[in-house]
Structure 1
């Protein structure tokens, strides 16, 4: 290639940017020249007067409106939120209403050119007010601020008639990536479309998730799986649609994503394993939110099933985040997998002098007197052995609410046994040792 041609091709974007900037400066100069006219200053003064009137009206009417809203008891929350938004924008609302009335009057009594600048101010104020009210529907503060200022800039450029020039200026700032040309204008389009599509996907995902959670025919684990799958599909579709709409070739992206996938497969094996394990847990319904499980020394109930971990809350208020892989590969005790019935065993012993038949009857009655012990599955008591100093028994009973705790119900049953045995004169033996002190051995005879 000719060096001069290479130099010329390298200077082409700079020359295009310079030409666009000069065109914008020329248009701005022409606007300022036409702006410096007597009737334009009159219009600026009228706009300032209207703004002061709107400020005074908002200053006096805003407190009255606030007091009126406080007296509205029983109104829906959404209606009060709308009123609060309007109350905070009273000044701009009054300004927009007054400026359009002033323009209407001026168009009737004078030439249209005498209200041209006021019309631009009214259009800008109306657009800014509409954008400010519309973006209040977005809950994310960062996203709301970004969309608000972006929309204000776009509307201002459109009303001032600078759209083509600004687009040409942004398009002239570009870099070449292989065979693709990435300009600032293309990047802004991609960002705006991506934000809009992601916001739409988030709204659809939230609405669909609420409908899925209200469906009682779907199990809790399948509800979580359906919500996660729907979120992945919607967000992925929003991302690829945004790239497609701005003209990005997805063929190269597919090759790049394949290479990235291979690298992630080696570097993030544990993460991928936890993700796959989470999907398996949701599909086989082995655990679900609300189940009471034991994993090693951890005992508690499941709060939520995440993509990478399961949240378990114990009786002492601690929240454990257990990786999904541990729940697949380890031994998990699910106390409420197929039903909520849980059988508990406690062991005790009585003296050999107590009647075993009477002890069994008293132990069963004592267990039945505890509130959480089920009567439809009555307790049973059996002799399990004859110990060194006691007759050993096992008392078995059932409960239906393992989330209420296991240690406390065992303690209540033990306390009921103690009271019943004290009442009926049954003794609970304990090991006893007798120590005998033998006389000292006689002294050895002297040699």
Structure 2
């Protein structure tokens, strides 16, 4: 860049920028008002837009019918199709304008198609930006990305990129060897945005690929996915630092002191991160396991870097820190397998035959859905003691689907016992107390002796 052309002050930069835009705007106005092919091109552009709108009205129903029949397409392809259907007029205009522009450039009058080429370029850029912007989840970032790319595409189409780049590069701060300009910041922001989007897409693709691999355990799938995510986002961070012009050697010197300070401030966070890695490596819990931690009973929905998501039967989702799963006692109902044994305590009257009670209880529990029978999972019933009011029993049975709930299966078994005992004439006693009434003139010592 010629050093003589670089303005010496911000006001001079602004004046040069305004002058450059004024010149380009004057050229555009001149193209519009001057009679001849310039005006004809504008009329052609308006006619192409009207034709594109008519084509949309004529073919929209057919396109919608065709789109509804694409049921087997992947989600990303269906979303792209929906975006194109919403911008059908713009799609037709891009096709028509580029077809006419290429025809005029190669067959008829290349010099008479400048404005058509500019508009065709802008229309294609706007369509591409609208489709690519859907990859950005955050609405605010998506709008910023759209406007930034639309402005850049407009500058490219009007040949104003050099003037704007010169202006932005002049707005800079220099500290020693470090030179940070507005142009560099914009380039870094654009690069970071693109890399973050690619990193997110890459992470999702890797997660889906790992989940489809049956040879890898769920815990290792999560661990590998988190490792890939850390590598990709770490690479984005390093690229951003290098793009802004920072020297990584200087940062390395400060990393030790900063790390000590952060270590004290984020002690719990680091502890949860390390605990999460330990959980993933030793595979003590994995997505889908049914666990009990204190009063929380549910199945693991997801393993995060800082916490574990546990969903209970009532629809609540608890975010339990990884450190609690390492330091506290956790009951994993499906650690080695999904078979779970449940015990139910009940009592019957002393007048009932214990052999009949045991046979009736086993027969009734086998009739309940979800209860397993046969082999090592055969239900059993044992006498556990002779109580004050009843003979006490324990009924033990197995299930293989604890994720469907434990309270409901216990309730169903109790209900089956109730119906079976009613049918067999077996009574379920309740505690009884004997009350003795003494005469009014009873001696206090007699009362005490009794």
- Shared fold (TM-score, shorter chain, > 0.5): yes
Q: Secondary structure at the match of 2:318?
A: strand
Checking the alignment, whether the CA contact within 8 Å between 2:104 and 2:113 is kept in structure 1 is no
The worse-fitting range, judged by mean Cα deviation, of 195-204 and 128-137 is 128-137
- Output the aligned Cα RMSD: 3.2
The worse-fitting range, judged by mean Cα deviation, of 36-45 and 59-68 is 36-45
| Structure 1 position 374, deviation (Å) | 0.9
Structure 2 partner of 1:387? 387
Give the 3 Å change call, closer, same or farther, for CA 80–379 of structure 1 in structure 2.
Answer: closer
Structure 2 partner of 1:172? 170
Checking the alignment, whether the CA contact within 8 Å between 1:275 and 1:324 is kept in structure 2 is yes
Q: Which residues of 2 match residues 85-100 of structure 1 at below 5 A?
A: 85=84, 88-91=87-90, 93-94=92-93, 97-98=96-97
Structure 2 residues not aligned, in runs of 5+: 1-5, 445-450
Q: State how far apart, in whole Å, the 2-side matches of 1:38 and 1:297 are.
A: 75
Alignment deviations for residues 390-435 of structure 1 (CA, whole Å, 9 cap, x no partner):
2211111111111121112222222222222222222222221222
Question: Which of the numbers 241, 247, 257 marks the counterpart of 1:243?
Answer: 241
The worse-fitting range, judged by mean Cα deviation, of 81-90 and 412-421 is 81-90
The worse-fitting range, judged by mean Cα deviation, of 249-258 and 206-215 is 249-258
Checking the alignment, whether the CA contact within 8 Å between 1:44 and 1:118 is kept in structure 2 is no
| Structure 1 position 18, deviation (Å) | 5.5
The worse-fitting range, judged by mean Cα deviation, of 335-344 and 53-62 is 53-62
Q: State how far apart, in whole Å, the 2-side matches of 1:205 and 1:343 are.
A: 40
Structure 2 partner of 1:10? none
Q: Secondary structure at the match of 2:8?
A: helix
Q: State how far apart, in whole Å, the 2-side matches of 1:325 and 1:39 are.
A: 73
Structure 1 residues not aligned, in runs of 5+: 1-12
| Structure 1 position 384, deviation (Å) | 1.3
Q: State how far apart, in whole Å, the 2-side matches of 1:400 and 1:118 are.
A: 69
Structure 2 partner of 1:286? 284
Q: State how far apart, in whole Å, the 1-side matches of 2:365 and 2:102 are.
A: 87
The worse-fitting range, judged by mean Cα deviation, of 406-415 and 27-36 is 27-36
Checking the alignment, whether the CA contact within 8 Å between 2:90 and 2:127 is kept in structure 1 is no
Question: Which of the numbers 53, 67, 92 marks the counterpart of 2:61?
Answer: 67
Q: Secondary structure at the match of 1:389?
A: coil
Q: Which residues of 2 match residues 281-360 of structure 1 at below 5 A?
A: 281-360=279-358
Give the 3 Å change call, closer, same or farther, for CA 174–352 of structure 1 in structure 2.
Answer: same
Question: Which of the numbers 194, 211, 218 marks the counterpart of 1:220?
Answer: 218
Alignment deviations for residues 365-400 of structure 1 (CA, whole Å, 9 cap, x no partner):
222222222112111111111112222111111111
Structure 1 partner of 2:3? none
Structure 1 partner of 2:81? 82
Q: State how far apart, in whole Å, the 1-side matches of 2:146 and 2:102 are.
A: 27
Q: State how far apart, in whole Å, the 1-side matches of 2:108 and 2:442 are.
A: 141
Q: Secondary structure at the match of 1:307?
A: coil
The worse-fitting range, judged by mean Cα deviation, of 426-435 and 80-89 is 80-89
Give the 3 Å change call, closer, same or farther, for CA 391–129 of structure 1 in structure 2.
Answer: closer
Q: Which residues of 2 match residues 229-240 of structure 1 at below 5 A?
A: 229-240=227-238
Q: State how far apart, in whole Å, the 2-side matches of 1:332 and 1:443 are.
A: 61
Question: Which of the numbers 20, 40, 44 marks the counterpart of 1:46?
Answer: 40
Q: Secondary structure at the match of 1:49?
A: helix
Checking the alignment, whether the CA contact within 8 Å between 1:389 and 1:430 is kept in structure 2 is yes
Q: State how far apart, in whole Å, the 2-side matches of 1:106 and 1:217 are.
A: 57
Structure 1 partner of 2:431? 431
Give the 3 Å change call, closer, same or farther, for CA 396–69 of structure 1 in structure 2.
Answer: same
Give the 3 Å change call, closer, same or farther, for CA 298–127 of structure 1 in structure 2.
Answer: closer
* TM-score between the two structures when normalised by the length of structure 1: 0.85
Checking the alignment, whether the CA contact within 8 Å between 2:135 and 2:197 is kept in structure 1 is no
| Structure 1 position 43, deviation (Å) | 4.5
Give the 3 Å change call, closer, same or farther, for CA 150–282 of structure 1 in structure 2.
Answer: same
Q: State how far apart, in whole Å, the 2-side matches of 1:365 and 1:32 are.
A: 91
The worse-fitting range, judged by mean Cα deviation, of 76-85 and 390-399 is 76-85
Give the 3 Å change call, closer, same or farther, for CA 247–394 of structure 1 in structure 2.
Answer: same
| Structure 1 position 161, deviation (Å) | 3.5
| Structure 1 position 81, deviation (Å) | 3.9
Alignment deviations for residues 328-364 of structure 1 (CA, whole Å, 9 cap, x no partner):
1111111111011111111122222222222222222
Give the 3 Å change call, closer, same or farther, for CA 163–63 of structure 1 in structure 2.
Answer: closer
Checking the alignment, whether the CA contact within 8 Å between 1:93 and 1:129 is kept in structure 2 is no
Give the 3 Å change call, closer, same or farther, for CA 117–351 of structure 1 in structure 2.
Answer: closer
Alignment deviations for residues 15-67 of structure 1 (CA, whole Å, 9 cap, x no partner):
16566556556655665676648984544522331232133223322222221
| Structure 1 position 231, deviation (Å) | 0.7
Give the 3 Å change call, closer, same or farther, for CA 438–283 of structure 1 in structure 2.
Answer: same
User: In the alignment, is residue 182 of structure 1 matched against residue 175 of structure 2?
Assistant: no
Structure 2 partner of 1:9? none
Checking the alignment, whether the CA contact within 8 Å between 1:197 and 1:242 is kept in structure 2 is no
Question: Which of the numbers 331, 335, 359 marks the counterpart of 1:361?
Answer: 359
Q: Secondary structure at the match of 1:71?
A: helix
